[in-house]
């Protein structure tokens, strides 16, 4: 078989790894070092796709994936890297191939045929939908390769959305997300469009963002569809509409519903508690308009519709400590995988109650700005489920080096991959303590944090000394590091530039740091260790034109020196 024949087979069966692995064997047989490396990369990413987030095998595979992509990414993308440069915002290799792109509608209209001819792209997120390119896009034959399409948050008009969904070759779509909130009102034709469009005939996941639409209006489509995951964000939910959704034939199937937005108030509770309501709600996210006094968590969490709820976002609801302790006493935590309490009052007592609750499946926990302080962190370290966490947000909690040292020395958090410690400094109102070098150095020396991949230290008081400890740690292998928001010192660029660990960083933020302006970042721009994969944020650092040009030559679209377009 030829390279083109293998690519065609991979494109035709995007979920099947067999063709990818056979192609890897074919490349090995060709014998050149570059082809053998490509074969290894395919096998590496395929293997990563089968592993859980905390699998111990991931570390070595992720390092090798990074090394190979660092060396060959531009070669594997080919000439399209430059031709799409102005419209291609982000892209992703998965299971050995370029499969996901975030691109403007205009760039896709101009270069889409070449993109899909060279790569098995199956996921597209459109940017700047509304430039008039949708009608020419609709005629493209390569839509037959697309399985996942999202129009982003640029809110195309209904006419432009209709042009996309009527595309004659968009027939293999499995997931679709759109936002029509720009319209003056709900378009009554939308449910009919979804029901009659060839693009939605095999749809399995639908994400609707529409502030003016009651999702119940979509039931004529949903009831006869193959949709199994329905995500509703910022929608005009009513009690009657939600009740109709939760008791519909659609909800009688094996489906999952995500509800997020500011209009999830107590007036909707009867819909959750209706006797015929199906247990299909998997995620609930409240918004800023939800009044804490109106939240009856016991009723909601014990309702029939929420029996299989696993993710709950109470951020911005400003729940009281008593409400947090009430939450800890429910049986929700026993099945929870994600809990977000940002800007609720948790405090020491609330944290103690949460720590004592059984939560064996909890993976993501957001406790940003919850008045934890050091004593609350000590209670967190005592939680039996702390080792299960993969994501932890502790921003703006007046945490100091002692608290961070306690986390490091606890032997816990062994599966943590993402840790957010930003704004733990005197920049926080009424805060007199800070995370500094001592706490970060304790973290760098802790073997229990060996799986940590991203660390946010924005507006703390860490200096070049602490950053050097992180980069030279015998345990940590960071891929993402966020600094900035304060004076990082004149020696930081040299520390970054000389560290071989810089090569592993695929995300580095130094934004809002005027002390790094002018030519201060020139050592970083000239470092042999700076990876072309690194998304470097130097916004509001006021770097010189010389530095900006040098960084852009190394990083291309991954340099963020100005406010940027939306990203996924």
Lowest average pLDDT, out of 21-30, 85-94, 115-124, 178-187, goes to: 178-187
Distances (CA, A) of 327 to 157, 361, 384: 42, 16, 18
Is residue 298 over pLDDT 80? yes
State the Cα–Cα distance between residues 333 and 355, nearest whole angstrom: 10
CA neighbours within 13 Å on the CB side: how many for 221? 26
Instruction: Identify the residue whose tokens are 């070595």.
Output: 60
* Average pLDDT rounded to a whole number, residues 125-151: 82
Q: What is the pLDDT of residues 410-444, one digit of tens each?
A: 999 999 999 999 999 876 566 678 899 999 999 99
Cβ neighbour number for residue 549 with a 10 Å cutoff: 12
* Average pLDDT rounded to a whole number, residues 482-503: 94
Instruction: Decide: helix, strand or coil at residue 535.
Output: strand
Residue 42: predicted pLDDT = 97
Judge contact between 529 and 500, C-beta under 8 A. yes
Judge contact between 494 and 467, C-beta under 8 A. no
Kindly state the DSSP code that residue 543 receives in the 8-state scheme: B
Q: What is the pTM of this model?
A: 0.92
Q: What is the pLDDT of residues 316-339, one digit of tens each?
A: 888 899 999 999 999 999 999 999
State the Cα–Cα distance between residues 388 and 385, nearest whole angstrom: 5
Is residue 110 over pLDDT 90? no
Lowest average pLDDT, out of 143-157, 183-197, 223-237, 387-401, goes to: 183-197
State the Cα–Cα distance between residues 567 and 308, nearest whole angstrom: 30
Judge contact between 180 and 159, C-beta under 8 A. no
* Average pLDDT rounded to a whole number, residues 225-246: 89
Phi and psi based region of residue 472 (left: phi greater than 0; alpha: psi -120 to 50; beta: remaining): alpha
State the Cα–Cα distance between residues 371 and 97, nearest whole angstrom: 45
State the Cα–Cα distance between residues 123 and 176, nearest whole angstrom: 10
Residue 566: predicted pLDDT = 45
Is residue 564 over pLDDT 70? no
State the Cα–Cα distance between residues 115 and 141, nearest whole angstrom: 12
* Average pLDDT rounded to a whole number, residues 126-146: 79
DSSP secondary structure letters along 74-141:
HHHHTTHHHHTTTTEEEEEEETTEEEEEEEEHHHHHHHHHHHHHHS---EEEEESTTSS-HHHHHT-G
Cβ neighbour number for residue 92 with a 10 Å cutoff: 12
- For the chain, how are helix, strand and coil distributed in percent, rounded to 5? 40, 15, 45
Distances (CA, A) of 366 to 34, 314, 418: 43, 10, 11
State the Cα–Cα distance between residues 140 and 197, nearest whole angstrom: 16
Q: What is the pLDDT of residues 264-280, one digit of tens each?
A: 777 788 899 888 999 99
State the Cα–Cα distance between residues 207 and 226, nearest whole angstrom: 14
* Average pLDDT rounded to a whole number, residues 523-542: 96
């Amino acid at each position: 078989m030829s390279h083109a024949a293998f690519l065609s087979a991979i494109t035709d069966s995007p979920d099947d790894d067999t063709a990818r692995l056979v192609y890897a064997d074919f490349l090995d047989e060709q014998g050149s070092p570059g082809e053998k490396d490509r074969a290894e990369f395919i096998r590496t990413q395929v293997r990563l796709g089968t592993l859980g987030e905390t699998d111990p095998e991931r570390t070595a595979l992720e390092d090798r994936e990074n090394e190979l992509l660092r060396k060959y990414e531009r070669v594997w993308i080919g000439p399209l890297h430059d031709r799409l440069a102005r419209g291609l915002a982000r892209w992703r290799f998965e299971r050995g191939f370029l499969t996901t792109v975030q691109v403007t509608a205009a760039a896709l209209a101009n270069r889409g045929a070449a993109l899909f001819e060279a790569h098995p792209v199956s996921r597209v997120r459109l940017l700047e939908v509304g430039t008039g390119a949708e009608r020419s896009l609709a005629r493209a034959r390569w839509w037959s390769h697309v399985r996942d399409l999202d129009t982003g948050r640029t809110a195309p008009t209904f006419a432009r959305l209709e042009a996309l969904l009527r595309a004659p070759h968009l027939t293999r779509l499995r997931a679709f997300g759109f936002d029509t909130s720009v319209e003056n009102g709900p378009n009554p034709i939308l449910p009919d469009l979804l029901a009659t469009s060839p693009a939605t005939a095999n749809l399995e996941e639908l994400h609707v963002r529409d502030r003016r639409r009651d999702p119940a209006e979509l039931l004529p489509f949903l009831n006869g569809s193959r949709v199994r995951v329905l995500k509703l964000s910022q929608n005009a939910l009513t009690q009657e509409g939600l009740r109709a959704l939760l008791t519909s034939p659609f909800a009688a199937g094996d489906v999952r519903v995500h509800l997020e937005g500011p209009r999830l108030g107590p007036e909707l509770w009867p819909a959750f508690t209706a006797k015929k309501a199906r247990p299909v709600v998997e995620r609930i996210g409240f918004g800023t308009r939800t009044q804490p006094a109106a939240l009856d968590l016991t009723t909601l969490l014990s309702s029939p519709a929420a029996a299989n709820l696993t993710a709950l976002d109470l951020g911005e609801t400003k729940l009281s400590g008593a409400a947090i302790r009430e939450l800890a006493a429910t049986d929700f935590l026993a099945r929870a995988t994600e809990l977000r309490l940002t800007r609720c009052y948790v405090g020491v007592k609330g944290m103690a109650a949460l720590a004592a609750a059984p939560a064996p499946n909890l993976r993501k926990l957001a406790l940003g700005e919850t008045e934890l302080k050091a004593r609350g962190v000590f209670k967190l370290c005592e939680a039996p489920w702390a080792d299960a966490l993969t994501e932890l947000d502790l921003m703006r909690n007046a945490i100091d080096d002692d608290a961070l040292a306690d986390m490091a020395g606890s032997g816990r958090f062994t599966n943590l991959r993402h840790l957010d410690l930003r704004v733990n400094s005197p920049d926080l109102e009424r805060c007199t303590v800070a995370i500094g070098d001592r706490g970060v150095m304790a973290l760098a020396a802790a073997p229990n944090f060996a799986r940590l991949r991203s660390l946010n230290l924005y507006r703390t008081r860490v200096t070049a000394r602490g950053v050097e400890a992180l980069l030279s740690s015998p345990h940590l292998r960071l891929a993402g590091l966020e600094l900035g928001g304060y004076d990082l010192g004149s020696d930081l660029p040299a520390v970054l530039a000389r560290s071989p660990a810089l090569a592993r960083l695929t995300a580095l933020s130094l934004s809002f740091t005027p002390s790094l302006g002018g030519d201060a970042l020139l050592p970083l721009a000239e470092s042999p260790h700076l990876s072309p994969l690194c998304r470097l944020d130097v916004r509001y650092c006021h770097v010189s034109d010389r530095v900006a040009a040098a960084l852009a030559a190394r990083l291309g679209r991954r340099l963020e020196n100005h406010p940027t377009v939306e990203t996924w």
